[in-house]
Chain A
């Protein structure tokens, strides 16, 4: 090798070494630049994104597996400002299809693109699939036309974007709306089961970092959907009861109405119908549908003075405490003084010699007021407390209220209250409280907790929910005796609650309504009926409440026929043959 070539080799080696060192120096310099942190942050931002994965909300079924609340695809419609070409065309199309205000949409679509301030603007969320697909079709058609005719210019709807996600869906519209409640656009459950079991239905959202680099993709964690619920509600019974109630409210001119059907042994609610009801798919019309002060679910959220249906509790307490017997005589003179107040019968008449059976049969206020005095103040209120009056029943629905039972320890209680309370005035109860208290009479003294959750599906496993007894306010003997007394009330020839072929028990109720300015309203009442059957093997317990009917003020004329209508449907839907056939089958 010549000296000349040695020199060349040395030069090249030094040049390559110098270049390499420069590269290394530049790399090191980048690490200490003032913008180094900015560059690192930019790299981090582009490396992936933090994503919150929301599990699908759990579904709600009726007792036979019919879907009452599910999920459906809805769309968020917005615009990428960078791609907007013709804000007028966008505003015209979007406002027409989505029924939005043109000026508002135009104003939003006209916002100037700014990578740091304004990139994307939302027009509407929870847009139904049919409307979003119509918009998508219009955009796709423009794209197709632009491909066929490249000289036609830019696409006028360019920039419109659609993001699909799940929204709540109620396939049965307003069926059992008061039981289900609804989910708002922010994913929060309101009223009914949706609110009470919101945590279970929602599931647990999970925050993860999703890398953009496919080499760094990792297995996504399993996100179980929210728990699904199987309710005790029977869709067919609910639909039938709602139809009967709607008709009754229309026929009687009642302001509102409630009908509850419960299994008296297990406390399972088969149906809970109220008026009015809102189509849950349009829950935002809530304020239009419900008049002022009307709660979403009156069956649990509105306490009222129940009137004579309350007499069954007074009589149960008196019988259980041996204050009276079914054949205890009572001379009804048409009035009685309790605590300085004179009490009269519903027709202001004197009914003469009666026994306890007659007192219930004719719903005599004077007699029941006397019974309460025989029982005594302390025992009366102890029994009412044990029946759960003034307490929450614990039903698994959001929005239950306590009602009000004044007791001698309250400052606003007067001795006269005892007489009024004995026949259901001066005491405020919810229909569900009355139902729970009456379950003790049907159930050998045991009071059952009303509930709407039959089973829970969590992580692919179904957990059936057992029923619970609250307490035993009266003895089994008392319950049986009262059952027989109340059977006679319904089986009377003139009772409109009578259903041929079935032995039923029950009691009507007519109550005056307190006025806000004090005293009671004139000419308007709350009418109620509580009844159950078949008496020897109770399968259903029904409560009817019609508020301020205009056709008649009497529960025996307004609420009792509704009870009969409900029972006529129930015996078919529950496969309950007439007593004669059922007993002959049992004998075989």
Chain B
């Protein structure tokens, strides 16, 4: 018994064991620092990549807007008054003489409406995003709604109770 106690005491007091503890502590801190640095690098690299993507997307938006303006101008050129008149003449059409126009009385016809290239002030844009109910209701609202549904399914209501 005493012999085994001596062995344990000798083990605890062994100098290499203390060194091992110090080395272990040091390695643990190195690993911790490495893990933190790794996470930081990973996050910052992803953020950097996202930033670069944003830059590229801004550039793409600009290019798309430029192309859009280009296309509008090209379309306008293809449908310009002189081009359309030339095409019409080539197809055998000619400007109508006022004496050849036949006028019909169309009830309720209000004439050609004015052009509207954008909504008037105060109008709600159709593309305006609207948040669904789930994003705006509180927990209390949600609970009330659930209990309301349950109550209806069970046939419990204020009116039924008064009968």
Contacts and interface: CB of A to CB of B under 8 A. Distances in A.
Given A175-B82, A217-B55, A64 B115 contact: yes
Contact of A236 (B73, B81, B125): B81
A73 B105 CA distance: 48
B96 to A, nearest CB: 6
Contacts of B67: 73
Interface in A372-400: none
Contact of A173 (B82, B119, B125): B82
A240 B73 CA distance: 22
B62 to A, nearest CB: 9
Interface stretch (B31-39, B44-52, B131-139, B152-160): B44-52
B76 A585 contact: no
Nearest to A235: B81
B94 interface: no
A171 B80 contact: yes
B121 A461 contact: yes
Interface residues of B, number: 47
B60 interface: no
Interface stretch (A250-258, A475-483, A568-576): A568-576
A340 to B, nearest CB: 51
B161 interface: no
A131 interface: no
B48 A72 contact: no
Interface string B69-89: 110111111011110010000
A360 B109 CA distance: 40
A366 to B, nearest CB: 38
Interface in A107-155: 129
Contact of B103 (A213, A220, A581): A581
B117 A214 contact: no
Contacts of B118: 457, 460-462
B11 interface: no
Interface string A554-570: 00000000000000110
A572 B100 CA distance: 10
Contacts of A219: 54
Interface in B110-163: 111-112, 114-121, 123, 125
A577 B47 contact: no
A214 B52 contact: yes
Interface string A39-78: 0000000000000000010010101111100111100000
Interface in A237-275: 238-240
B48 A214 contact: yes
B70 A73 contact: yes
A405 B124 CA distance: 52
Given A173-B80, A572-B101, A214 B51 contact: yes
Contacts of B51: 213-217
Q: Which of A67, A129, A213, A228 has the most CB of B within 10 A?
A: A67
B65 interface: yes
Contacts of B125: 460
Given A70-B73, A463-B121, A164 B98 contact: no
Interface SS of A by simple majority = mixed
A133 to B, nearest CB: 12
A110 B51 CA distance: 39
Given A70-B69, A72-B69, A171 B121 contact: no
Contacts of A572: 95-96, 98, 101
B66 interface: yes
Q: Which of B85, B98, B101, B103 has the most CB of A within 10 A?
A: B98
Interface in A405-441: none
A172 B73 CA distance: 10
A64 B115 CA distance: 5
Interface in A192-220: 213-217, 219-220
A316 B73 CA distance: 48
B134 to A, nearest CB: 27
Q: Interface centre among B80, B95, B97, B119, by most A CB within 10 Å?
A: B80
B51 to A, nearest CB: 3
Contacts of B65: 56
B115 A63 contact: yes
Contacts of A180: none
Contacts of B82: 172-173, 175, 239
B79 to A, nearest CB: 8
Interface in A445-466: 454-455, 457, 460-464
B58 interface: yes
A575 B111 contact: yes
Nearest to A281: B77
A96 B72 CA distance: 30
B92 interface: no
A230 to B, nearest CB: 6
A239 B121 contact: no
B55 to A, nearest CB: 6
A384 B30 CA distance: 97
Given A216-B51, A460-B119, A59 B81 contact: no
Nearest to B101: A572
A464 B65 CA distance: 26
Contact of B76 (A67, A239, A240, A455): A67
B44 A215 contact: yes
A1 B15 contact: yes
Nearest to B96: A572
B85 A585 contact: no
A65 B112 CA distance: 13
A169 B72 CA distance: 10
A70 B101 contact: no
Contacts of B114: 63, 454, 464
Interface of B: 15, 44, 47-52, 54-55, 58, 65-67, 69-70, 72-77, 79-82, 85, 95-99, 101, 103, 105, 111-112, 114-121, 123, 125
Shortest 6 CB-CB distances between A and B: which pairs? A214-B51, A171-B76, A67-B76, A217-B51, A462-B118, A577-B103
Given A73-B70, A236-B81, 18 more contacts: A63-B115, A66-B76, A67-B75, A72-B70, A164-B66, A171-B80, A175-B80, A175-B82, A213-B48, A213-B51, A214-B47, A214-B51, A219-B54, A455-B117, A457-B117, A462-B118, A463-B121, A572-B96
Interface of A: 1, 56, 59, 61, 63-67, 70-73, 129, 164, 166, 169, 171-173, 175, 213-217, 219-220, 228, 230, 235-236, 238-240, 454-455, 457, 460-464, 501, 568-569, 571-572, 575, 577, 581, 585, 588
20 contacts: A59-B72, A65-B117, A67-B75, A71-B70, A72-B73, A73-B70, A171-B77, A172-B76, A173-B80, A175-B80, A214-B48, A214-B52, A215-B44, A215-B48, A238-B81, A239-B81, A461-B118, A461-B121, A501-B99, A577-B103
